[in-house]
A and B are shown apart, each in its own frame.
Chain A
Amino acid sequence: MQIDTVTFRRLVEQHQSMVFSIALRVTGEFGVAEEVAQDAFLELHRSGERLEGDDHVRFWLRRVTVHRATDALRSRQRRPEAAAEEWMDEVHTDTVATGLDYRVAARLDELLQTLPEAMRVAVVLRYQEDMLPDEIATLLAQPVATVKSNLQRGLQLMRRKAATTMKEYVR
């Protein structure tokens, strides 16, 4: 795919929320997510010629974003809970449209941040990106069984925490 300025602008507009949201939920930090998204798009600009079509671009951007985000997370060598609350309430003020109480949405995002990295990545791709386990396995180059296990354990942990800390909201 030839990446000229017009094509690049279209791809950024089309995919910025996907790239930024994956980066934000994996890293848990707004500023880091912006850096990760910027890196991903710059790499798209460099490597775009190898990509064929929009589906390939979306697959490639998801993979690069997950890798960049986990790299950023590891290089900081700390869990992101501390900074998590800063953006949760802010991004969920508009979620009334989904029919879910914004406090529940913010709390679920906080619980997500308590998961270990591999489980968090799997949960983000499954529930934010609506990907099936075999699609996630292909994207992450992992066995499907590993992805299913990470999803199951991640959900289990979140359910357990939700049951004790937000039982008035979560059914």
Chain B
Amino acid sequence: MSEHDEKLDEFEMQLKQAMTRVDARAETVAKFMAIAAEVHEERAVPWRQRKNRWAFFLPVQPVWAMSALAAVLAVGVVVGGHEVREQRQAEAQQRAVAEREFETASQITDRALEHTRQQLERAGVRPED
């Protein structure tokens, strides 16, 4: 009887007595041992010689491996995002420079045309003719 039992009523005591632990079958326990021994032997073999060396890609992995993979992916996302942003900024700057140059060129062309028109008027030539 444990210290917790003092508060149990009769039904709970019966339930507790009914719920005794059950041993696994001897062959099942032997199987646990055999599988563990196999895993243990496998660990002792260098990685390149392991039968299950591709097991890294299986679902259950050590925490450190999953953390490392997650960290590499996170760094990749951050660096990739940064490069895309830089590329877009450079393109926007190039576009702004080109627009300014076009604007300047247009203004120069307008002034040249106006100058030519005035010269022709002074010479008595009407451009419409």
Residues in A lying within 8 Å of B, measured CB to CB: 4-5, 8-9, 12-13, 16-21, 24-25, 33-34, 37-38, 41-43, 45-47, 50, 91-92, 95, 98-100, 104-106, 108-109, 112, 123-124, 127-128, 130, 132, 155, 158-159, 162, 170-171
Give the interface of B toward A (CB within 8 A).
2, 4, 10-12, 14-25, 28-29, 31-33, 35-37, 39-40, 60, 62-63
CA of A12 to CA of B40, assembled, Å: 15
Given A5-B37, A42-B35: A108 and B28 interface contact (C-beta under 8 Å):
no
Q: Is the CB of A37 within 8 A of B36?
A: no
Which residue from A33, A46, A99, A124 sits with its C-beta under 8 Å from B19? A124
14 contacts between A and B (CB under 8 A): A13-B29, A16-B32, A18-B21, A20-B24, A20-B28, A21-B21, A25-B19, A34-B24, A37-B32, A41-B32, A42-B32, A106-B18, A128-B20, A170-B11
Closest-by-CB residue of B relative to A99 is B17
By Cβ-Cβ distance, the 6 closest A-B pairs, closest first, are A105-B18, A20-B24, A108-B18, A128-B19, A100-B17, A17-B21
Smallest CB gap from B31: residue in A: A38
Is A91's CB under 8 angstroms from B28's CB? no
Chain A interface, DSSP helix/strand/loop, else mixed: helix
Instruction: Assess whether B22 is in contact with A21, with CB atoms less than 8 Å apart.
Output: yes
- Min CB distance, B44 to chain A, in Å? 11
- Kindly list chain A residues whose C-beta atoms are within 8 Å of the C-beta of B22: 17, 20-21, 24, 91
- Within the assembled complex, what's the spacing in Å between the Cα atoms of A171 and B60? 48
A26–B12 CA distance with the chains assembled, in angstroms: 18
Are A108 and B14 interface neighbours, CB within 8 A?
yes
**Once the chains are docked, how many angstroms separate the CA of A155 from the CA of B62?**
39
Residues of B within 8 A of A109 (CB): 18-19
Please determine whether A104 and B19 come into contact, CB atoms closer than 8 angstroms.
no
Would B19 and A108 count as touching, CB distance under 8 A?
A: yes
Question: B60 to chain A: which residues have CB within 8 Å?
Answer: 43, 46
Contacts of A9 in B (CB 8 A): 33
A108 to B15, Cβ gap below 8 A?
yes
